[in-house]
Structure 1
């Protein structure tokens, strides 16, 4: 009898692990936001920061910036920061917002909206996403050169190379997770690589942990996946040809996923149902 109950517990556990999740659309920003690429949720202010390319994604035209949305999708400040080029991935840390902008990383003071530092990344072409480790070191992917750079004390250096189409990056438990083309990779502190999942339909873009070992992953072409910690993939959304799904943000406390739609010029909020 004891073995029978153990079998049932294992079976139920496996069923729970195998369950996927679903997305329920809550709102979409109604005012046009010119080429939304990345979203960051600021918990203390209950605000969303959105990078706006406002032009071509690889051109230094000074048209880009960062807007602020309220949590119902309305615009709080459409011109919080202006004068950038093609800003993409962002990350907040210790009162600062770090923004990847083609070949530089800007540091913006969250209180004043002023750029307090701009670091030129050597040989960078298309800086894309940003992650920050527990010590405050900044990491930025370059999708075109297949590299990940590290920035410390105002200087950049190559942290990893030969990471194909490196895009979305996140530090989780002191390990760097990277969307590399059609794969989700993990690098430990010794830079040893593990393939978590592979076989994405299109090249990966946004990466967010769910907090239970699983991930939400986007492909820029218009796909959102749930990837379980064992590498199993479930497609949650496929809107290819209708809109893009770029560098997402996930609020674990409220189970809300914020999706910048790039050329659809909006941000969409989805409730994540387990």
Structure 2
């Protein structure tokens, strides 16, 4: 190999590396609903059928009042049904496996028939005080966080166990393969199937929702009004900061094919959609 060719290869490699590190991301707002969604906390997409399932607290986020439920909204932001599921308390995180929708509802996991919106079952979690986010892996195993007791519970074939303890500020969860990605306060970490934790990065605020981009990177929200792009190596980019506007950004959803984020605004009573744009 000639010296000149080696030199040119080195130049190309340096350029590739520089381009990789120069890559940045930003959000373009697409739409927002009217302020009619009753304290939305989590969004779960059914992209095939063009539906966003949205948990509605509708009042005090800690009250056992029967006012909460699940709404259906179109991918274009149009309201389909604000009363798809009714009679819950303060539902937050949502998950799905097959035709069953799971909602974290204070001290129990509610199982909903996704075709009818009717409650099929309620799974009480002993000692639970504030069940928050929920995720379901590809084998149907459910994980649910309890922010007040600092625990993550596991439900498999109806059997309940405690998977992890002492996770301060635990909130957002995402099961991917045999791993569980976790937001605990400002810490973003990963657990293997045996509960061994690996730190990924530290945020500037308490993490709420997280969704994989599809390339090892993640989108992460803080309830305070922040959205971050977190690369696999822990690098953090701030995509949105609307804290001064007092608009919350709770448990988001993400369409990896179309690069669209769906973000519930909690007290803002609306859902917003953004396009993720990658620039260099």
What is the TM-score of this pair, normalised by structure 2? 0.94
Aligned to 1:213: 216
Distance in structure 2 (CA, Å) of the matches to 1:177 and 1:18: 26
1:249 aligned to 2:253? yes
Distance in structure 2 (CA, Å) of the matches to 1:181 and 1:113: 32
**Deviations 1:148-182 (Å, cap 9, x if unpaired)?**
00012223210110111110000123210000110
The one of 55, 72, 85 aligned to 1:51: 55
Aligned to 2:168: 164
CA contact (8 A) 1:20 1:226 kept: no
Deviation at 1:257, TM superposition (A): 0.1
Deviation at 1:136, TM superposition (A): 0.7
1:227 aligned to 2:193? no
1:86 aligned to 2:85? no
CA contact (8 A) 1:31 1:75 kept: no
1:66 aligned to 2:70? yes
Aligned to 1:120: 124
* Matched pairs, number: 273
Aligned to 1:191: 195
The one of 16, 33, 37 aligned to 1:33: 37
Mark the structure with the bigger radius of gyration.
Answer: 2
Aligned to 1:100: 104
Distance in structure 2 (CA, Å) of the matches to 1:151 and 1:9: 48
The one of 188, 201, 206 aligned to 2:204: 201
CA contact (8 A) 1:84 1:101 kept: yes
Deviation at 1:71, TM superposition (A): 1.3
Gaps of 5+ in 1: none
Deviation at 1:138, TM superposition (A): 0.4
SS in 1 for 2:19: helix
CA contact (8 A) 1:119 1:155 kept: no
Change (3 A) 1:17 1:118: farther
Deviation at 1:18, TM superposition (A): 4.5
Distance in structure 2 (CA, Å) of the matches to 1:3 and 1:192: 44
More divergent stretch after superposition (228-237 vs 2-11): 2-11
Distance in structure 2 (CA, Å) of the matches to 1:9 and 1:140: 44
SS in 1 for 2:48: coil
Change (3 A) 1:138 1:6: same
Gaps of 5+ in 2: none
Change (3 A) 1:172 1:13: farther
What is the TM-score of this pair, normalised by structure 1? 0.96
Distance in structure 2 (CA, Å) of the matches to 1:202 and 1:117: 35
The one of 151, 156, 159 aligned to 2:155: 151
Aligned to 2:263: 259
Distance in structure 2 (CA, Å) of the matches to 1:166 and 1:29: 29
More helix by share: 2
